[in-house]
Amino acid sequence: MKRLLAVALVCLTLPLTAALAAGTAGATTPAASNSKFCDAVSGISSDIGSGSDTSNRAAAKALAKSIRKAGNSAPKNVKKAMNTMADYFEAVGKAGSNTAAAAAAAKKARAYAKAIGTFTTYYTQTCANLGS
């Protein structure tokens, strides 16, 4: 079950990681009003998938907190999406066991998938040209 939890968390964080990585490919600077959001998102990181079950759940809670904080710099619809993403990780982090974490992940997976789409679209449109 530990492996299932780790694999599920890693797989569900891959879209966020890909969106963050896409931000290093361009050559122009985003509008000043969006640079705060881009900077906040670039600070999100996670070590989910390594360590004990307890540390994975702690990492999920920390990730939820980071996502919520970054969402404060986003437009209303993106903030809502990021809060949904944070809800997913928070539910996994608060689960008392691997079984409960897997159930929480499954319960919130559909909403998370929709939210990650909203986030990724905004992030790539706003921040994809950072880094050069």
0.75 exceeded by pTM: no
Whether 105 is covered by a domain: the verdict is yes
Q: Report yes or no: 69 and 40 within 8 Å, Cβ to Cβ.
A: yes
Give the C-alpha separation, 13 to 130, whole Å: 21
pLDDT in tens, 70-119: 999 999 999 999 999 999 999 999 998 889 999 999 999 999 999 999 99
In a domain, 19, yes or no: no
- Residue 64, in any domain of the structure: yes
Q: Given this model, what pLDDT does residue 100 score?
A: 92
Query: Would 8 be classed as within a structural domain?
Result: no
- In the chain, how many domains are there? 1
Kindly report, residue by residue over 6-41, the tens digit of the pLDDT.
545 555 555 555 554 444 444 344 444 478 899 888
Distances (CA, A) of 32 to 29, 71, 73, 124, 126: 8, 17, 12, 16, 10
Q: Which residue range is the domain that position 128 belongs to?
A: 32-41+50-132
Residue 87: inside a domain? yes
89 located within any domain: yes
